[in-house]
Chain A
Amino acid sequence: MPAIKEEVKKRVGDIVTRLPPKLRRKTLPRLPELSEEEVVRHFTRLSQMNYGVDLGFYPLGSCTMKYNPKIADLLASGVAEIHPYQDESTVQGILEILYTLSNWLAEITGTHEVSLQPAAGAQGEFLGALIMRACHKFNGDIEKRTQLIVPDSAHGTNPASGTMAGFKIVVVPSDPNGCVDLKALKAAVSERTAGLMLTNPNTLGIFEEEIAEIAETVHDAGGLLYYDGANLNAILGKVRPGDMGFDIVHINIHKTFGTPHGGGGPGAGPIGACEELAKFLPVPCIGYDENHRRYFLDYDRPESIGKVKGFYGNIGVLIRAYAYILSLGAEGLEQAAEMSVLNANYLVKKLSSVRGFELPYAEGRPRKHECVLSAKTLYKENGVRAVDVAKRILDYGMHSPTTYFPLIVDEALMIEPTESVEKEELDRFVEVMKRISDEAYSNPDLVKKAPQNVAVTRLDEAKASHPKTMTLSWRMHQKRNVIKGAAP
């Protein structure tokens, strides 16, 4: 605590007695009382019980756990002490970075203009759905256009975001190839359709080949097409959502542009919009005044939907993406896409012959950046489920794939290797999967009791959520124990 001069103290007087007694805190909050070194040791020890990309293979499907460049972390600290309300003349550098980044993202996605404001993909989705709403309102259609269509393979955030924006969700099934069933889509659209939310490649890692027909169907019905950017990594520089007919696009900066996921966040979820919809983007956008050669925050957008959060976005994340794109350039981004796809298909080839696993949907068609295996047979023949396989993978020192998603695959294991992983590591993963298959057939209990070689064995998640045992804070724990009569 910086010491305060005695004469200042004397002059100001007792500050606390100026507070009305009823507004003073009587008892101090029960926070830890530790030395600096104890704090460092505690959290360093905790970090040792945590698995990150820097420790090894992290094929968590749909999350694009690629390498997070250290140079980006280092450069991000350059904005740490800038206040968002500083005079524009004092922030020209960071504004230029953000202006340039939003133009790059518009180029990458084939959209007209990009807002950097949303803090995460889900917030981008919410904003995107609000832009649909604003558009239909603008056209005097909102009373009628109340339905938002999502495929049954969609991320859970899609229907949740659509509902938040006031839409009713209509689910369309997938066809035998795991793609949107075009017939069902045609039957689902009507003058009540607000739009369709789609990710392409989809959550099975399959490219929606009929995207032209899908776009036409939705547009002909007067709906808008929303692109969920979770799988953008697969198509960088190859095909752009805007060119496929998508009107609104979100980008998961922390996935596609290599920024660290931070144990759950922060990320960033910029939104791109086509020319017709750009006027609805939130305020402020970053502008450039050519006459005065200066960057500025543009609030003069009368049709804007307003704001989805304070200030301008997760700048500390966005500046890392700027560094990432600078480092890779157009060629590097395209190569990232290609190699993420090659890696995924290499795994498809090697894993689909492992006993007990199969690759459902669209046999023989290439996957993009990820693939989804089913452990259905393994379960049927040995009682070993996808969750057991996932836990056993942890024992072998790797993170597991995403499990039980998408919902259209039984016993799903969703694997996204990304472009960052070297072939030897892919081979090791294949080896691990083979071994787990062998174990499942020879000693299924070993797999079902996994993990054993990590910080804790399998946790009781039901106990964590049951009203009688739920403990969501230390305070709750103590209250519960007092009720039980035990010592807190």
Chain B
Amino acid sequence: MRVAVVVFPGTNCDQDVLHVFGTLLNAEAFPVWHRDTDLKNADLVVLPGGFSYGDYLRTGALAKLSPVMQVVKDFAGRGGRVLGICNGFQILCESGLLPGALLENVGQRFLSRFVHIKAEKSVGFFTSGMQPGRVITCPIAHFQGNYYADPETLAALEANGQVVFRYCDPAGNVAAGDRTSNVNGSCNAIAGICNKAGNVVGLMPHPERAVEALTGFVGGDTGLEPFLRSVAA
């Protein structure tokens, strides 16, 4: 498994993602600068978190114009696996690779904390190791994580099995209007989605921060390791 980790000016989770895929998941992970147009035979492309272009204009808006994104679009169009984490998710939405947009959190605060999410039955390639309905604890760190799509798009996402993760309470209850569990106010409490074909996935939580004892996860299936193992499988 060759994993290309795209680095834009302002990306700051690239080293964490390279470490997790390269060390923990035994993949061959390498950085790709945003001006490069060669994905070096990658099997998976990851757009990591951070503040690409300083979040100027809108989060992820300027990153979509970077030369590498045309190559990523072509790669995704051929069925290549693409994972966007946090700012990477925002870039995927701005690029049109995923539907919808990420608005500012309803509470007007940057949220850096742990949340509970649960996986849905999804069409995505990354679901093999996931247990739908199982409550997972994971960290978020964002100001624009409030997932928005118009009612038609939301209905299509639900009908097609494109919702991958939803925010929930510790018992697994999902309530979009509940700010203690759906902390950023996302439509339908959506924390992650995939495209219709299931080969492009984006999520606001940081799986790369939810797999090691150093960050409070004892390994195995407590955090998002099953998700990442499926992604890298």
Are A and B co-members of a single complex? no
Which residues of B line the A interface, CB within 8 A?
Answer: none
